[in-house]
Structure 1
Amino acid sequence: METQKINFKNLARFVQCKSEPIKPSSRQIQQSFRVNVVVLGSSGCGKTAVIKRFLGKPLPKTHIPTLEDVYDGHYTLKSFHTTVLLRIYDTDGSDRFPAMRNLAISEGQAFIIMYKLNSKESFRIAKETVDEVLQAKGEGVPIYLVGNKCDKPSTDHVVATDESIAVSREKKCYFTVTSALMGINIDKVFRELALLMVERRSLRVDERFKSSSLLDKKTDTNE
């Protein structure tokens, strides 16, 4: 089997998020950290359009297959006094470059797995991708199952909402429908993933603090 060579210099294209939200001044920020969000799904399901809508960038006028792009966008969660740098991996929707896909999954901390509401095949691939991510990352990894193109007439929808909800419950992941064209639920997906990662990080910090406090008390007792 021929080994694929990845040109890491050309792998990433960084785009600063300017529209939502505005990055606050340093005095307002108590903490900040980065989250790698990997967007997966079949070719043509709207991955690039969803990402660009979130970043406030012009939507692509025609479908051009993505090799792999990486975007950076800051997201501020005021309630946590935290700025999250979302590093968003826009992956290839085919099986042409499995090495790059595997690399993105291995680097991912949160995942958006998309399908088209008007394509049963796209939904089948999305379900398989959820299983692939769970197998690679383990249970508990944040996954958002997203049915895109909800702006299409309901008569064109071939994937029932109940079916998608059932899959999300079985796989213990989140679910919503979106429209990159209309901007429906785009911000919600990224915001909820960012919020979840901040909450998890806060819990880990609390646990480390408690463990350190218990160790200090034990040391004091021994003395």
Structure 2
Amino acid sequence: MSQESSRPQPRLVQFKLVLLGESAVGKSSIVHRFVKDSFDDYRESTIGAAFLTQTIELNPEITIKFEIWDTAGQERYKSLAPMYYRNSNAAVVVYDITQESSLERAKIWIKELQRQASQDIVIALVGNKADLEEERQVDNEHAKLLAEEEGLLFFEVSAKSGDGIKTIFQNIAEKLPVEAQLNKSQQKLANKVNLQRPSTNNQASCCV
């Protein structure tokens, strides 16, 4: 038996992740670059939300499966967002480095997450379109300081080139409560097994 085949299979741990941000900042482009390693200059706006999955190896023993909800940025869909972020383990709040207003909108999303999402949610502030440096409106140090003050992860990336995209999700994976999630899954499995066991309280088997 080869050494490869004798290695135990890594355990799969699932986490829900949501993307938030103003329309056209590149949320869908970030997701598609991560999941499919593809980029489309003319991607249509998301309607409501889109669902994708992708795995990432945390270490040889653990593989993280992200269940990703890519939410629409248009104002008319804003009321749907809590449906996706309330039970999320992680959130990626995206802004466009060439649009100052998109960072202001990102700040509102961050406050909303801090107020209404799970207390232990991992939040990353992500500046997209780093390939458009000549059109930059948002100062890198300003955004980085904001992230530090709010206790967030911070990245500047380019969905177009792919630079920094995998790093976002790798760093989020490293911050997630993997052991707690594993214990929760094991407890659910144990409860399911107990429910499926035949009852020993069978009156028909008692002595008359």
Change (3 A) 1:25 1:71: farther
Name the counterpart of 1:66: 46
- Other-structure match for 2:62: 82
Deviations 1:116-175 (A, max 9, x none): 0000110100011111111112554211000000000x3311111111011101111010
Query: TM-score when scaled to structure 1?
Result: 0.74
TM-score by length of 2: 0.79
The two structures, once aligned, show a CA RMSD in angstroms of 2.2
**Equivalence for 1:47:** 27
Aligned length: 179
Name the % identity. 23
5+ residue gaps, structure 1, are 1-23, 207-223
User: For 1:32-53, what per-residue CA distance to the aligned partner results, in whole angstroms no more than 9, with x for missing partners?
Assistant: 2111010111100011111111
Tell me if structure 2 keeps the 8 A contact 1:29–1:83: no
Q: Contact conserved, 1:54 with 1:186, CA < 8 A, in 2? A: yes
Which stretch of the first structure deviates more once superposed, 57-66 or 37-46? 57-66
* Equivalent in the alignment of 2:166: 187
- Cα separation, 1, equivalents of 2:77 and 2:142: 30
CA–CA separation in structure 1 for the residues paired with 2:70 and 2:147: 22
**What corresponds to 1:201 in structure 2?**
178
The DSSP-based 3-state class of the residue aligned with 2:116 is helix
2:154 to 175, 183, 197: 175
Give the letter for the 2:63 counterpart: T
Which ranges in structure 2 are unaligned for 5 or more consecutive residues?
184-208
| Counterpart Cα distance in 1 of 2:143 and 2:6 | 42
Instruction: Give distance in 2, aligned partners of 1:64 and 1:25.
Output: 44
SS of residue paired to 1:107: coil
Decide whether aligned partners of structure 1 residues 202 and 164 sit closer, same or farther in structure 2, where only a CA change above 3 A counts: same
What is the CA distance between 1:98 and its match in structure 2?
Answer: 3.3
Change (3 A) 1:44 1:204: closer
User: Per the alignment, in what secondary structure is the counterpart of residue 96 of structure 1?
Assistant: helix
Name the larger-Rg structure: 2
Residues 30 and 62 (structure 1), Cα distance of their counterparts in 2 relative to 1, 3 Å cut:
closer
CA contact (8 A) 1:147 1:177 kept: yes
Structure 1: which amino acid aligns with 2:174? L
Q: In 1, Cα distance between the equivalents of 2:145 and 2:161? A: 26
Are the equivalent residues in 1 in contact too, given 2:89–2:120 (CA < 8 A)? no
Aligned pair 1:100/2:80, yes or no? yes
Q: Does 1:132 align with 2:109?
A: no
